[in-house]
Chain A
Amino acid sequence: MTRAEHHEWTRAGMLRAAAAGGAAATSALVIGVRDGDGASQAAPSREQDNAILNLFLRLEYAQEGFYRQASNSKNLDGDLRTFARTVGPQEAEHAALLRHRLGSDAAPRSDQPDVGNWLTSPRLFRQAAIDLEEAVIAAYIGEAANLTRGALADVAPLVSVEARQVAWLRGLGRTTPAPRAADPARRPQAVLAQLRKLGFLA
């Protein structure tokens, strides 16, 4: 842990203690140092929050746009159409929260790519949506711990819903909704590259 990080957490602990009327801040649990971590991480900050939340906003826009197009597709019906029509507005709400959080620092929405090639069949839609959702979840898991506490408090209840969505979708495809005991993180750069390649991002 760098000095800057330690200062950030200690100050937070002191402020919490002060807010609580004097309860002593306990020291962080030392649960093992892992190579390559901590020392090279920048401390959470408003500026870093903005960068991360704008990433999340971009991902929510990509999802919302995809499901909006899917909702109107004649090639989807039944369960998949229900999925798109339920989840699309949820992604819109996620985007709205992130925009509210960012205020004037919210990046403008880019033009929505045409994802029609993923809507030519239910199978293609389902696979593309799973790839999209899994990538988004991995990005959220990857960046969550880089957020300030306040930002994380807002984002955590959104991330869990993303996971619900992908479990639902996987179940529709008779793929196990929960393939692992823990979900992995991915670097945001890798997620963005994958989504560009798939055509979800310009």
Chain B
Amino acid sequence: MARRSRTAAVVAVAAAILAVVAAALVPGRAAHVRRPVRASALPAPVTPAFVPGAARPLGSTRHLAHWAPVRRNAVVRRAPDAGAAPVTALATSTPERTRNIVAVLGQARAGGGQVWAHVRPSMLPNGGTGWVPRSVLGGYETVRTLLTVDTARLRAVLYRDGRPVLRLPVGVGMPGWPTPRGRFYVRNRLTRYRSPEYGPIAFGTSARSPAATDWPAGGYVGIHGTDRPELIPGRISHGCIRMRNRDILALAGRMPVGTPVLVR
């Protein structure tokens, strides 16, 4: 009898051991033990497709100029005030049927909270500036270029970010038809018009010839090519700035609409 009891005890212990082993080996049978995730089991970060470069402050705005399209007819005024004296009228279109644009010189908030833009329109006498409500204009555009025209040296220089990038000989107004001096801007760009005397491309500017006030299209001064390249440089035009055709094409590749034009 003692031997049977001992055997039963051994069997019971063995069964217990087997039960524990089975519980450990058979998933789901034992109580689920959640262990903390090992850090080494975590995947490495995915390398990003790109990383932005360093953020840079804006830097100097000295060589920037702004322009804006005219959205609706308006009156340019001497001050940012609806009661201020008029300077000139602004139309939405140019004689070339492009959108009229103005150089934007700044902004101010007038009494009452309305924002006004300080603009340089195309007008006679040349060189005038004034104010229009911000809502008269469309979105502002920025250019980094400047074209200077030296009527004494018969040379134009295109600058970008203050550095000269093109130096070109030019023809300017003949005696009695001077190219107006002052600050202007490129207003539009004309192409594919088949007029050899204007070359392959012409730019309209905001400059107006005081000598050509009766001109059918308003007497605006352009920058354009020519079918008489042998006359350049020279004082040969009715006020326009003429270039050899290869030069106007080079200019066209680098001078956007809105570029300020400084004629000295």
Contact = CB atoms under 8 A, between A and B. Distances in A.
B1 interface: no
Given A55-B37, A107-B34, A41 B44 contact: yes
B43 interface: yes
A141 B45 contact: yes
A27 to B, nearest CB: 15
Contact of A189 (B36, B40, B53): B40
A122 B172 CA distance: 73
B37 to A, nearest CB: 5
A163 interface: no
Nearest to A141: B45
A143 to B, nearest CB: 6
B152 interface: no
Interface in A74-117: 104-108, 110
A25 interface: no
A149 interface: no
Interface in A130-184: 141-143, 145-146, 180-182
Contacts, number: 68
B193 interface: no
B162 to A, nearest CB: 27
A142 B45 contact: yes
B48 interface: yes
A41 B45 CA distance: 9
B41 interface: yes
Contact of A181 (B44, B46, B49, B52): B52
B45 A110 contact: no
B39 interface: yes
B55 A107 contact: no
B43 A185 contact: no
Contacts of A52: 42-43
B51 interface: yes
Interface residue range, chain B: 20 to 34
A42 interface: yes
B21 interface: no
Given A107-B36, A180-B55, A181-B54, A41 B49 contact: no
B215 interface: no
Given A32-B49, A145-B46, A188 B54 contact: no
A119 interface: no
Contact of A145 (B32, B39, B42, B45): B45
A54 B36 CA distance: 8
Interface string A49-66: 011101100100000000
Where chain A touches its partner, the secondary structure class is loop
Given A54-B37, A107-B36, A108-B34, A182 B52 contact: yes
A41 B50 contact: no
Contacts of A141: 45
Contacts of A145: 45-46
A105 B32 CA distance: 10
A192 B41 CA distance: 13
A175 to B, nearest CB: 16
Nearest to A193: B39
A107 B53 CA distance: 39
A50 B46 CA distance: 17
A186 interface: yes
Nearest to A145: B46
Nearest to A189: B39
A143 B42 contact: yes
A120 to B, nearest CB: 30
A146 B46 CA distance: 7
B34 A146 contact: no
B234 to A, nearest CB: 53
B34 A41 contact: no
Given A34-B49, A182-B52, A51 B37 contact: yes
> What 5 A-B pairs are tightest by C-beta distance, nearest first?
A142-B45, A37-B47, A145-B46, A185-B45, A181-B52
Interface of B: 32, 34-37, 39-55
9 contacts: A32-B50, A34-B49, A37-B46, A54-B37, A55-B39, A58-B36, A145-B46, A181-B53, A181-B54
